[in-house]
Structure 1
């Protein structure tokens, strides 16, 4: 399935980068690009959009106000915030309004793709849930099939695990634990703990890079097949 995306960004260069990032994912199509919230609401009134990539700081109507208008208008679309705002108040406001992810500029291409995949998993779970029961509700909320806590060892959380796996899928090759940590916003110690688990489970292959000019580093990639 292909999802239609609207990019709302007043900086032409950032808007172009966001558009390029979206187009690199075969499951997404850019339906349009708007310079402010007023244009975005007008566009949504005329076009079906599955996902809005929404900046916070814009003229005429900022991203938070635009998000409120989207919810008030009951537009059937999800929203990913993309912003330079790193204050907790903005994050809290947008989370209360139901954003599916929140990206802080400057963000890595891989982290952007993780956000797209998070939306796709959520949309797919909703589509597959013909009859709601507790399992299907858990599936929708967590974006993937939820396992009971006993299925994971201590210190392994399902949402974090899925975020790391999505990151590895975007890398499409060998990568370091530090690179994963920077992309998903977790500590290197936490990533090492999760990678050890994934290697033990046979989902990830590890190797040692001796050509660092210093201390060797571990490399990871998703196991094929």
Structure 2
């Protein structure tokens, strides 16, 4: 798996340690550097150009908004997730105008940053190695629901060990797009997964009530389990 390079910007050593601990629990990310001041953050981001920056607003010199504006002014193509205690509407609007991927308010639980990083990983993987995108791809990327699409939210605390949310979404979305009854083997082939892996995700989705199971019997051999998204 390709890891997403990250830089963490936080002036409080204890908060930095907590954030690092949370991120190390999430598969697919690599912390390549940290910064405790705004100017240090700009210098590191200029040099390393990470895919993702976790940025606090309240820093001892430049604030996080100034850092965000400066890296945008320089055209540095790093995505930014803001983690801060700032809750005023003007601050939220300001950073959203400069294209942050997410905004997390302190204090926060592990599940919130896990959701943010899983969403970013999905976003990153959808864009990687693409030359162009059609309207359906773009709508899915920016979370626009069209008629007939199914809203899909899972309780991450209930996810069995060994299952990853990003793969769960891929399996569900594949079934949702096909709108057909598909076997684990067909889903595995379509997504490039092992059949046993696809079956585990399908069984979890069926038990969660997101999809339904249909058992089909042929003339010979074992019955085949087919899965389809509930309409």
Query: What TM-score do you get using the length of structure 2 for normalisation?
Result: 0.66
1:16, distance to aligned residue in structure 2 (A):
0.8
Runs of 4+ in 1 over 3 A off after TM superposition: 169-174
- Residues 40-89 of structure 1, C-alpha deviations (whole Å, 9 max, x = no match): 11001211311100001111100111110111111111100000111111
**Which residue is 1:36 aligned to?**
37
Partners of 1:73 and 1:31 in 2: CA distance = 21
**Which residue is 1:169 aligned to?**
156
CA RMSD of aligned residues (A): 2.2
1:110–1:171 contact (8 Å) kept in structure 2: no
Inter-CA distance 199–86: structure 2 relative to 1 (3 Å threshold):
same
**Which residue is 2:134 aligned to?**
133
1:81–1:99 contact (8 Å) kept in structure 2: yes
**Which residue is 1:16 aligned to?**
17
1:10–1:34 contact (8 Å) kept in structure 2: yes
**Which residue is 1:149 aligned to?**
147
1:173, distance to aligned residue in structure 2 (A):
5.0
Partners of 1:81 and 1:115 in 2: CA distance = 10
1:201 aligns with 2:202: no
1:131, distance to aligned residue in structure 2 (A):
2.5
> What SS does the corresponding residue of 1:150 show, helix, strand or coil?
coil
Inter-CA distance 172–200: structure 2 relative to 1 (3 Å threshold):
closer
1:135, distance to aligned residue in structure 2 (A):
1.8
> What SS does the corresponding residue of 2:148 show, helix, strand or coil?
helix
2:111–2:156 contact (8 Å) kept in structure 1: no
Partners of 1:30 and 1:171 in 2: CA distance = 27
Unpaired segments of 5 or more residues in structure 2? 162-206, 213-231
Partners of 1:15 and 1:110 in 2: CA distance = 17
1:125–1:139 contact (8 Å) kept in structure 2: no
Inter-CA distance 134–117: structure 2 relative to 1 (3 Å threshold):
same
1:151, distance to aligned residue in structure 2 (A):
3.1
Unpaired segments of 5 or more residues in structure 1? 153-157, 175-197, 204-225
> What SS does the corresponding residue of 1:39 show, helix, strand or coil?
helix
1:170, distance to aligned residue in structure 2 (A):
5.6
- Residues 104-133 of structure 1, C-alpha deviations (whole Å, 9 max, x = no match): 000000101001111111111111533222
Partners of 2:158 and 2:43 in 1: CA distance = 36
**Which residue is 2:64 aligned to?**
63
Query: What TM-score do you get using the length of structure 1 for normalisation?
Result: 0.68
Partners of 2:108 and 2:38 in 1: CA distance = 22
1:199, distance to aligned residue in structure 2 (A):
4.5
Larger radius of gyration between Structure 1 and Structure 2: 2
1:6–1:32 contact (8 Å) kept in structure 2: yes
Partners of 2:74 and 2:96 in 1: CA distance = 18
